[in-house]
Structures are given as C-alpha cells and as structure tokens.
Structure 1
Amino acid sequence: MELKKNPKVEILMATYNGENYIEEQIESLFNQTYTNWNLLIRDDGSKDRTIEIVKKLEKQYPSKIKLLRDNKGGLRAKDNFLELLRNSKENYIMFCDQDDIWLPNKIELTLNKMLEIEDGPTLIHTDLKVVDKNLNIIANSFWKFQNLNPNRKTYNYLIVQNNITGCTMMLNRKLVNLSKGDFPNGTMHDWIISIIASISGKIAYVSEQTVLYRQHPFNQIGATKISISYIKLKIKNLKEDSIRQISQVKDIIDSLENIEVKNRDEIEEFITIKTKNIWLQKKWIFRKKFLKNGILKKIIHWIYF
C-alpha cells in the first residue's frame, strides 16, 4: 500500500521497569513497512535496566530514538504519556507501550486511514491480538474478547465505556493541541483523548489487528476476560465509579471551555444527572443512550449507575 504523502510519524513510549520486553518492542518498530518515524521515550523512574537499554539504543540510532530528560520524577502511566504528548513536535502522533509487539503494517495502515479521512481533530485506532507473555495467542481480536463495538464512537458511548486502546491510537496535531492539559487523576490518557475527539473532532478505525497486546503480571492496564466475579466487582463499585466519572468528564469539558464542543448542553446535563430524581436519571440515561455495549452490561449499568 503506497501512501500519497510521506509525513514523519512521532511515536511516544512511556517506560517503567520494562527491561524484559522493551528491546523486542523497539525491534518491531524497526520492522515497520513505513519507515519515516522517530521514537520519543520518557522513563518514569525505572529501577531495572530500562534506562541503560534506552540509552544504548539512543546512541546506536540517534536519528530515530530520543530519550526525554527532565526532572519531573515518577508521573505514573497517564501523566507520563501526557508529558510525552506535550513534548511532541510532529503532525502525527502514536502511543507505544513498552511490552507489546507492533505488527509490520501498523503505522502504514493507520496513517493511510488518517490521510484518507482527516478533517479537523482526528483520531484513528485499530483492533489488537491478545497474547500471553510468550506471545501465544489468547484472542485473535481484542474487540471480540472484550465485547467492544468500535462503531460506538460518539461521546455518549465513550463517556461510559471507552473502546479505544491507547497503544493503537494515531492523533493528528489538531487533536494533540486539545489534549495536552492537566486532566483529573484516576483517568487514562486514551479515555481522555477519546472523549475529546468525540466531542470536538472525528474518530475512525481500522478493523485489522495491528498489535500483539502482551498480557503479563506487570501490566499497568490489560485485557480482562468478563466473568461472574468481575461483574460482581463492577456492580459493587459502579455507584462510586459513576460519581467519579461524572467529575472527570466535567474536568475534561472545563478544559475545553473556549473550544467548539458538539452537544455541549447535553454533556453538561449528564454532568448534573445526579441532581435529578432517581427515575428521571434512569429515563434520561436510557433516552440519551449513555449505555455500555452488550445486553448484560447495559442492564447492569442502567440499574446501578
């Protein structure tokens, strides 16, 4: 697949104690069919050999790899990625986890879709293959494994259930410029950016799996198979989670105060939903479709939100 343009793609990798897998991941970047990329890495205070490995590769490939050096210390995963985003310079940005493997056509497929549909702030994402620590396949489709529907890409769906995985994202510069703020604790960068894209721009996807999404005991975030115990835990925490979620959405909307936001009035009504009578809450949520994917998840969310 030949691209009409050849723009530089900037890959952002947040690292922390990644010595076991990081070299294999970076090797998969060098195996990409699209080669006009550079890699910006920020480490979050690793206690293992991660920094040593990164500095060795930076020295070996100075035109491709750069380590971001600052005095900000450990920021944790979300703010590590957002700090990288604030220091990015190119028009097209991708996030990269330290422990996955990118399949060879990942950049090419994603960039081609971006250049095809880009219009204002734009986000492209893809499916993934779920693998174990030795890269044995657990599930050929992360979307099917988690019962996610990538066509549910409007803000009302994404606010209650993010279906966009950070390590598959590509953002254009207009979306990056909206996504560099100080956002609330307890949220991940991919959910924040997905919501911003849904209310101020455009989201599209590539249905192919482009990442081997490695599951191991030290994942910051991973793929969780739905089970009875998982559902019970979610039900137990849903009330508290919904209050925190509303607060987080308010912070995101407030950060876009001077930006044109689609359906701002409806989102602000969602932010005040807990002030309504309980039955008016449920009626409004159902009517406006602030509901998760899948019948069981929908029912649980509607009852316990």
Structure 2
Amino acid sequence: MPEVSIITPCYNSSKFLEETIRSVQNQTFTDWEWLITDDRSRDNSVEIIKKINDPRIKLTIAEKNGGAGHARNISLKNATGRFITFLDADDFWEPDFLEEMIGFMKKENAEIAYSNYARCDENLEPKIEDFKADKEVTFNNLLKTCRLSLLSSMYDSQRVGIEYFPEGSKREDHVMWLNLLKKIHVGKPLPKTMAKYRMHPTSVSRKKQNIVKDQYLVYKDFMKFSTAKSLYYTANWAFNGFLKYSKIFN
C-alpha cells in the first residue's frame, strides 16, 4: 500500500491540469497514489490524464456529473494510503510538500496537519499575503472560520478513519473538516508555505455574499445547531472571511 493517497476532483480543468500533474510528479516523496475522478468533463481533461505513463495515477470517470464532493467521495472509497490529502486540478504543490507534511505529522504525532499556502493569480504570481498556518485547529475555532484548506492539509486515516464529503452542499469541505475534528482534540500547523492556490475571480469560495445561506446551512442542517447559534457562527464566518481575503489586511 502507498503511504499517502492524493484525492483530486477534475471538471473542465485542462487549462491548468498539466501544471498540477507536474507538481505531483515532481514530489521528493514518491510513495503515493493519486486518485483522480473526472466529473464528466466536456473539455480534454480526460485525454490529458490518460496520456500520463505513471501507474500511481488512477483515473475514474464518474457516471454522472455530481460536483466536487461527489467526485472526491468516489476517490476516497478507493484510497488505500495511510495519509489522506487533497489537491484540486488547478492548484500546485511545492516539490517537498508530501515529504514535509508526512515528516511533520509523524514528528508531532498529529492526526491532522495543515501548512501555509500562497494565494496567487491564475499565473501563480502572488496576489495577496500567504495564508498562515499559525494556530492549532479545533472543532470550536473551526466553527468561526475554516482554516483548513484542502490543498495544504493532511490527515491520518489509520487513526481517524476516512471522512466523506456531504453531497449537495457548496460548503462540503467545511462540513467534512468539522466532522473530522469531532473525533480528535487538535490539528497541528506547519508554518511553511508548501502550496499555491489559484484565486480565480469567479471562484465560488471567493464570493462570500453568494454563499452565506450555504454557510448558515453548515450549522443549521449539518451541525444541528439552533437558529440563533447558526446565525452567530455565520456572522463570525463572514467577518473572518472578509479579513482573510481583504487586501486591507493582507
């Protein structure tokens, strides 16, 4: 079995996919499997992946378009690695991402860890200050802001099990991390910039005003909080999201 399973959803990602592939193949740590699930792309993403001659890369094509959470779940069902990590098909890892993260988790005896990541434009040029992994993550502080980004986080499935994404939510990553942190005491920060995140102008996660309702449902429907408690955490999330992305504070 590989030491780590990399989980990637792919949908119409041909513009940046080859760069993402190179960032994985250039990893100094080589004992990995990469499970890519294509969510019925309409471009040539599948053709790009099929051209790669690397047995560690395993492509699945979804039967129907079901969204990123659905695609990740398909890959998670087939994952065999001890460590689980995520990379979207347009993001980028530094060559020592896997080596640094796995080494840190073993040294710190961590069940979940996360690193800094650079926040870049579509050409991977810095756009605002790097996101800093400067705080331990707990269930309670993750309610107010999602500090765990998929591209710079990793968890130990031998110790905490596989956690699947809720389907049909635009905030599926936040729900998944909250469910995972119900099982453990704390996630550890690695204060090194190990990845690059493309900040697309049309990204759903950037348009906070469009997903306030979806965030409210994270608390109301998935965490089963009261209306007042759900509104309280939604307000905290919106305020912290403004601080996270505003150029005034970065």
Normalised-by-shorter TM-score class: 0.7 to 0.9
Matches of 1:184 and 1:64, distance apart in 2: 27
The reply to whether residue 36 of structure 1 matches residue 10 of structure 2 is no
Q: Deviations over 1:164-202 (max 9, x none)?
A: 10111212114663513x626324343123212322114
CA contact (8 A) 1:126 1:168 kept: yes
Q: Which amino acid aligns with 2:58?
A: K
Matches of 1:245 and 1:215, distance apart in 2: 26
Matches of 1:218 and 1:16, distance apart in 2: 15
C-alpha deviation, 1:242, in angstroms? 3.0
Q: Which amino acid aligns with 1:194?
A: W
Matches of 1:49 and 1:218, distance apart in 2: 21
The reply to whether residue 88 of structure 1 matches residue 79 of structure 2 is yes
Q: 1:105 aligns with which of 90, 96, 105?
A: 96
Over 3 Å counting, the alpha-carbon distance change for 1:156 and 1:140 in structure 2 is same
CA contact (8 A) 1:178 1:196 kept: no
The reply to whether residue 177 of structure 1 matches residue 161 of structure 2 is yes
**2:124 aligned counterpart, secondary structure:** coil
Matches of 1:130 and 1:295, distance apart in 2: 16
The aligned runs of 1:162-173 (5 Å cut-off) are: 162-173=146-157
Where does residue 180 of structure 2 map in the other structure?
197
Where does residue 66 of structure 2 map in the other structure?
75
**1:160 aligned counterpart, secondary structure:** coil
The reply to whether residue 130 of structure 1 matches residue 119 of structure 2 is yes
CA contact (8 A) 2:40 2:62 kept: no
The reply to whether residue 272 of structure 1 matches residue 226 of structure 2 is yes
Q: Which amino acid aligns with 2:9?
A: A
**2:180 aligned counterpart, secondary structure:** helix
After TM superposition, the score normalised by the length of structure 2 is: 0.81
C-alpha deviation, 1:14, in angstroms? 0.8
CA contact (8 A) 1:126 1:209 kept: yes
Runs (5+) with no aligned partner, structure 2: 244-250
C-alpha deviation, 1:16, in angstroms? 0.5
Where does residue 158 of structure 1 map in the other structure?
142
Q: Deviations over 1:16-35 (max 9, x none)?
A: 00111111111111211212
Over 3 Å counting, the alpha-carbon distance change for 1:220 and 1:16 in structure 2 is farther
Q: Which amino acid aligns with 2:65?
A: G
Q: CA RMSD in A?
A: 3.2
CA contact (8 A) 1:187 1:248 kept: no
C-alpha deviation, 1:48, in angstroms? 0.4
Q: Which amino acid aligns with 1:188?
A: R
Matches of 1:295 and 1:132, distance apart in 2: 21
Where does residue 23 of structure 1 map in the other structure?
18
Over 3 Å counting, the alpha-carbon distance change for 1:132 and 1:107 in structure 2 is same
Count of matched residue pairs: 240
C-alpha deviation, 1:69, in angstroms? 4.0
Q: Deviations over 1:69-97 (max 9, x none)?
A: 453x1111122112211221111111011
Please tell me whether Structure 1 or Structure 2 has the larger radius of gyration of its CA atoms.
Answer: 1
Matches of 2:46 and 2:76, distance apart in 1: 20
C-alpha deviation, 1:68, in angstroms? 1.8
Over 3 Å counting, the alpha-carbon distance change for 1:132 and 1:91 in structure 2 is same
Where does residue 248 of structure 2 map in the other structure?
none
Matches of 2:237 and 2:149, distance apart in 1: 16
Over 3 Å counting, the alpha-carbon distance change for 1:296 and 1:132 in structure 2 is closer
Matches of 1:174 and 1:79, distance apart in 2: 22
